[in-house]
Amino acid sequence: MSAVIIARHARTPAERFKDAAWVAFIALLLGIPMVGLTTVDEGGALAVHTRFGMLGAFVGASFVGRFIFRWIMDQVRSRRAAKPAVVKVDRTPQAIKVIGWAVLGASIALPIVFSENRYVIDTATTVLIYVMLGWGLNVVVGLAGLLDLGYVAFYAVGAYTYALLFSHFGWTFWEALPVAGAMAATFGILLGYPILRLRGDYLAIVTLGFGEIIRVILVNWTELSNGPNGIGSIPRPTLFGLPFDRNPAEGTQSFATFFGLDFSGMHRIIFLYYLILVLALLTNVFVSRLRKLPVGRAWEALREDEIACKAMGMNVTNVKLSAFAIGAMLGGFAGVFFAARQGFISPESFTFTESATILAIVVLGGMGSQLGVVLAALVLVLLPELGRNFSEYRMLMFGAAMVLIMVWKPGGLLASREPTIRLNKAVTAGGEA
């Protein structure tokens, strides 16, 4: 009731004052332990000192900040309300297309522009790994609507499959890639079977457990995985058999000698970047195509209403398992790339935080939106990177950004859903005849 009234009429100064005072009060409560008290080292003993001046400044800043923020928000809102209502044309699909091509162009051009900046290309590679993982998880969470909190398990399966195939049998990246994908898909089905009947929260808890089980096995089964010490010296991928080494083995050629270039460490970095770009793009094409096939529509229908799916004669078991298997396979591919890029893997890289980050990318991107995943991955990987200068406030910034996205875009950055089928002109014309 009161909310409705407040939204309608202009705020009186008294109301603004009250609103800001309330915020200042909360700031005071939070600020007493966080700002008002500090520990000081006094001759080896720890003493608590008070910083009331600073606390006062903190509360004052909250008060003034809230006052100004509220005022600006109201100005914006009233200006928006004053504008005459315009019939909105929905340009979202075209806009998405334009943004999509722009992002693709930028990502192709990036290593050319920053060809000497290793940090930029490394970070971009990390973004792309998360984009690929996000697209993989999007199949399970975004399309099929199965909340998976243990996605990192498949990433780990892919990475360890490559590492073990190399260390025991000397397999190369390209040989291990399909096998690791198949292995991860198998694990996806293994996980899928026992949890077919679970939904929502229960499903989330079991998948969370599955992710932890894989990690704990990797830590403890020392004979297989070398435990917490991890597996090292995993070879980098080659370009059609051309390695990126400074000194190629006798009688073979490296990338640099083959093309008659001077050796540069950057070649490998740029190659890895383009490799993950290609893998990610293939993933995108694959998932977008699947979405327009009956299986993809079945996934989405499953997300919408499982009972209706059954009534339509769908074999819900197969639909769910296919979503788990394909999502897992894509995660496995990303895992192989990760192992090859790092050259060293250990269970440390596959913690729950990773699962949470990937899930956050899918959710913040807007469930089911492919481009949304890209934007969210950019935000979630770049923000902590940019925040490095703020060291201890880094996670605070990160959290604030996530809260802001959810406040302004509750459905994710790109919440609109692209239909999988357009109006068939022939049918429409015939129908009117």
Question: What is the C-alpha to C-alpha distance for residues 136 and 150, in angstroms, rounded to an integer?
Answer: 13
Q: In the complex, what is the shortest distance from the CB of residue 164 to other proteins, in angstroms, rounded to a whole number?
A: 39
Q: At CB < 8 A and 24+ separation, what contacts does 188-193 make? A: 188/154, 188/321, 188/324, 188/325, 188/326, 188/327, 188/328, 188/329, 189/321, 189/324, 189/325, 189/328, 191/150, 191/153, 191/324, 191/328, 192/320, 192/321, 192/324, 192/325, 193/321
Q: In the complex, what is the shortest distance from the CB of residue 299 to other proteins, in angstroms, rounded to a whole number?
A: 11
* Coil, strand or helix at 49: strand
Q: In the complex, what is the shortest distance from the CB of residue 314 to other proteins, in angstroms, rounded to a whole number?
A: 6
CB 267 within 8 Å of CB 261:
yes
Question: What is the C-alpha to C-alpha distance for residues 155 and 28, in angstroms, rounded to an integer?
Answer: 44
Q: In the complex, what is the shortest distance from the CB of residue 420 to other proteins, in angstroms, rounded to a whole number?
A: 6
**Which letter does DSSP use for residue 231 in this model?**
B
Decide whether 229 or 420 has the Cβ nearer to other proteins.
420
Decide whether 402 or 415 has the Cβ nearer to other proteins.
415
CB 96 within 8 Å of CB 346:
no
Decide whether 347 or 365 has the Cβ nearer to other proteins.
365
Q: In the complex, what is the shortest distance from the CB of residue 311 to other proteins, in angstroms, rounded to a whole number?
A: 5
Q: In the complex, what is the shortest distance from the CB of residue 96 to other proteins, in angstroms, rounded to a whole number?
A: 16
Decide whether 81 or 307 has the Cβ nearer to other proteins.
307
Decide whether 75 or 420 has the Cβ nearer to other proteins.
420
Decide whether 178 or 200 has the Cβ nearer to other proteins.
200
Q: Quick one: 175 exposed, middle or buried, by C-beta within 10 A (0-12, 13-18, 19+)?
A: middle
Instruction: Kindly tell me the number of DSSP H helices and DSSP E strands found in the chain.
Output: 18, 2
- Which residues of the chain form contacts with other proteins (CB under 8 A)? 294, 297-298, 300-301, 303-305, 307-316, 417, 419-424, 426-428, 430-432
Decide whether 4 or 429 has the Cβ nearer to other proteins.
429
Q: In the complex, what is the shortest distance from the CB of residue 8 to other proteins, in angstroms, rounded to a whole number?
A: 27
